Amino acid sequence: MRKIWIAFISVVVLSFIVLIWIGTEVYQTQPPIPEHVVIKETNTVVYTKADIQIGQNVWESIGGMEVGSIWGHGSYVAPDWTADWIHKEAVYMLEHWAQTDYNTAYDDLDVEKKAALKARLIKDVKTNTFDADTQTISISQIRWDAISANINHYSSIFSDGHEQYAIPKGALTDPVKLGQLNAFLFWTSWAASTNRPEKEYTYTSNWPHEPLIDNLITDDSLIWSGLSIVLLLLFIGILTYYYLRNHEKGEILEKPNSDPLSKLQLVGSQKAVLKYFIVISLLIALQVVLGALTVHYTVEGQAFFGFELSQYLPYSITRTWHTQLAIFWIAATWLATGLFLAPMISGKEMKYQVFGINFLFFALIIIVLGSMMGEWLGVHQFLDLTTNFFFGHQGYEYMDLGRFWQYFLAIGLVLWVIMVGRHLMYAINKKDESKDLIIILLVSVVAIGLFFFSGLMYGENSSLPVINYWRWWLVHLWVEGFFEVFATVVIAFIFSRMKVISTKTAGRVSVASAAIFLAGGIIGTLHHLYYSGTPVQAIALGATFSALEVVPLTLMGFEIRENWNLLKSKDWIQKYKWPIFFFIAVAFWNFIGAGVFGFLINPPIALYYIQGLNTTAVHAHTALFGVYGMLGMGFIIICLRFYSDRVWQNTKLKRAFWLLNIGLTAMVIFSLLPIGIIQAYTSITKGYSFARDADLLYSPVVQTLKWLRMIGDVIFSVGIFYFCWFTIDETLYNYRRKKVGQ
């Protein structure tokens, strides 16, 4: 066991050294924000640093990543503003030169003349004119003319609205803010089209794919993509060999003939946790409703079956709430599970535990409602930019809530760590065979509290590369990293208490699994940052280690088989049939959603072409709900099973389980994946901007595929209805019981 702990500690320490080193490189080599942008022929100042930085704040206030995307990060209905800006700028300049020099359209020129104009364009656009001494970027007059045309185009979109982009009229009308927003959009496109000093690729490693300016995939992206696939195959073989050789070496237990937890004594704090499950069920239902509204915007633009919904709930708000509520209810489920299991682990209920649970409950409600209201006010421009940063909409996917609400949530997490941690410390001090299992659980609990603070490491005026770096610390490391460890250990603890596996084996397997997962997961964070203004080292390390993330997931098929055999082994285990079924679904979607669909977009060569397309949505839905959502639901059911004293009528759960899985599968197969494939083909063959263009997204074929999503959505929604119905009904029944544990 000592060797396993050494391996775990080594993996964590070395991985964070690498991740922090890349962070220092991000700070030092990020695209510069100039003091001035000037026209080189006249030395006229057209933009200042303040214009660009305030423009970023304006972009955040209207919804940021929830209204199109920047550098491929964000929503899917509106264009990627960076790619769209670059393409329009290039077309304008080529057309101008074609008319001026040859008195004809660019497309009508012969190959030689097109090549000459394209070479002139590439030289103008890709030459880095940033002067480090004067902190100035120089642009040509013709480029400024192209930029001016873009300014008029985008100002019209945000002030007058654009139905196909789901942007309502009056989204942004202040002419000063519109000018600043365009300054920020220019800067993002400049960084993506201008070569790094002494390099043959841009600050975003030639993303987006834009043939007009020779933004083509780099050699580094190709090399590291190939190596990542080779390493994936190698380590799948190694881990499979290790698994087959060692998975039978655990302690053999004779499975009990009756439920070892039938005489479990439950305490008052566990009853206090039950109200979380009612609120969580309501949040799940609300998230699904908002998801339906959000998807409908992709086919009707501004309305919901004719009703002008966008004036009250624009797409940027419904999508914000839809994604944010997913994080809220899933995290709340896992936190409630920790609070519920803490007294079971320690065998003792600590003082003030009920008070703490009630405080966190009301804090959760305040944070959810307060942040949602702040986001609505921010997007509707009722808040000034600084107030918006603290109380409104920060503009970053999965981190939309204002900084004040983040502070509030951080305080709540610290309290949660204390409340759960003290029970775990008490259990560790018993020094029994569960010590290793409880220690790794304590590590995950502390990490959950600690790593949320990574989302507070940037400020109101931090640059986009810096914000994205810390954002993925939170989204990837917090949710996909240490919550994953927490979930693994909790399931191991539950099965050990059911005497399905020995406590000693559960501890050893949990620590080893955490080491294997984090070996790829920590540095694998960088796969989100290939083309976000980060150095090329992010591509090399991200590609290599994100491939390793998939390796443990390839063994999920074995877990499915073993869990199924476990389910059939003893009659009393049928009592836990549906919680185990949800855990089996987690294993399935972990392999398919996180593994297969995750690796579909993870290699640099894939992400270069399909970042921010519907292929990303495939991964997001199958991994976020399929893994973390199903796991959260399994946790709710197992807690209710421990608490309830009655025999369950499993019809609702049976329908919920199958409808959720069938609906999610149909959603992907009938709609999201086919649309993603069509977009990927377009991105590869024509350029990224075409894959996000309204002409493609509103083409008859794609529109039909969007409507076909209703099949999966309806099935899935009915499954949500049955799950929430069961959860609320069972929770209310247990509340009516007079005695805890009766």
What residue type is assigned to position 452 of the chain?
F
Residue 82 forms part of a structural domain: yes
Identify the bridge partners of residue 130 per DSSP, sorted by sequence position: 137
Residues 715, 601 share a domain: yes
Residue 577 forms part of a structural domain: yes
Q: What does the pLDDT read at residue 658? A: 97
What residue type is assigned to position 689 of the chain?
S
List of the chain residues with pLDDT < 50: 741-742
Residues 359, 468 share a domain: no
Residues 48, 196 share a domain: yes
Token pair listed for 711: 């099949």
Residue 656 in contact with residue 723, Cβ under 8 Å?
yes
Nearest 10 degrees: Cα torsion 486, 492, 497, 498? 130
Q: What does the pLDDT read at residue 732? A: 93
Task: Give per-residue pLDDT as tens, 560-598.
Answer: 566 667 666 677 888 888 998 998 898 889 889 888 898
Task: Give per-residue pLDDT as tens, 190-218.
Answer: 999 999 999 999 999 999 999 999 999 99
Cα–Cα distance, 534 to 239 (Å, whole number): 31
3-state SS class at 45: strand
Task: Give per-residue pLDDT as tens, 153-173.
Answer: 999 999 999 999 999 999 999
Q: What does the pLDDT read at residue 742? A: 41
Identify the residue whose tokens are 């918006």: 388
Residues 104, 21 share a domain: no
SS (H, E, C) 84-139: HHHHHHHHHHHHHHHHHHHCCCHHHCCHHHHHHHHHHHHHHHHCCCEECCCCEEEE
Residues 591, 521 share a domain: no
Query: Which CATH number do you get for residue 650?
Result: 1.20.210.10
Residues 583, 717 share a domain: yes
Cα–Cα distance, 686 to 704 (Å, whole number): 23
Q: What does the pLDDT read at residue 47? A: 97
Residue 242 forms part of a structural domain: no
What residue type is assigned to position 90 of the chain?
A
Residues 461, 339 share a domain: no
Q: Hey, what long-range contacts does 22-28 have (CB within 8 A, 24 or more apart)?
A: 22/526, 22/534, 22/535, 22/537, 22/538, 22/541, 23/469, 25/534, 25/535, 25/537, 25/538, 26/465, 26/466, 26/469, 26/529, 26/533, 26/534, 26/535, 26/538, 27/466
Cα–Cα distance, 314 to 67 (Å, whole number): 10
Residues 411, 508 share a domain: no
Bond before 208 cis per omega within 30 degrees: yes
Residues 413, 461 share a domain: no
Identify the bridge partners of residue 69 per DSSP, sorted by sequence position: 74, 80
Q: Which of 378, 409, 431 is the last residue of a domain?
A: 431
Residue 250 forms part of a structural domain: no
Q: Which of 369, 396, 431 is the last residue of a domain?
A: 431
Q: Which of 456, 444, 475, 342 is nearest to 408 (CA)?
A: 456
Q: Which of 384, 413, 431 is the last residue of a domain?
A: 431
Cα–Cα distance, 431 to 445 (Å, whole number): 19
- Structural domain total, the chain: 4
Residue 501 forms part of a structural domain: yes
Residues 320, 405 share a domain: yes
Nearest 10 degrees: Cα torsion 692, 693, 696, 698? 110
Q: What does the pLDDT read at residue 741? A: 46
Supply the DSSP string of 409-427, one letter for each residue: HHHHHHHHHHHHHHHHHHH
Residue 223 forms part of a structural domain: no
Token pair listed for 424: 């775990």
DSSP run (H or E) holding 60: helix 49-61
Identify the residue whose tokens are 């992206």: 221
* Helix runs in 572-650, H state only: 577-589, 597-601, 604-610, 614-620, 630-643
Cα–Cα distance, 542 to 536 (Å, whole number): 10
Cα–Cα distance, 120 to 109 (Å, whole number): 15
Residue 345 in contact with residue 432, Cβ under 8 Å?
no
Give the DSSP letter of residue 326.
H
Cα–Cα distance, 382 to 347 (Å, whole number): 51
Q: What does the pLDDT read at residue 215? A: 97
Residue 650 forms part of a structural domain: yes
Residues 693, 626 share a domain: yes
Residue 488 in contact with residue 437, Cβ under 8 Å?
no
Residue 712, C-beta contacts closer than 8 angstroms, at least 6 positions apart: 662, 663, 664, 665, 666, 667, 668, 669, 670, 671
Q: How many CB atoms are located within 10 Å of the residue 58 CB?
A: 26
Q: How far apart are the first and last CA of the chain?
A: 40
Is the sign of the CA dihedral 148, 153, 157, 159 positive or negative? positive
Residue 283 forms part of a structural domain: yes
User: What's the domain range around 202?
Assistant: 34-216
Residues 50, 22 share a domain: no
Residue 688 in contact with residue 80, Cβ under 8 Å?
yes
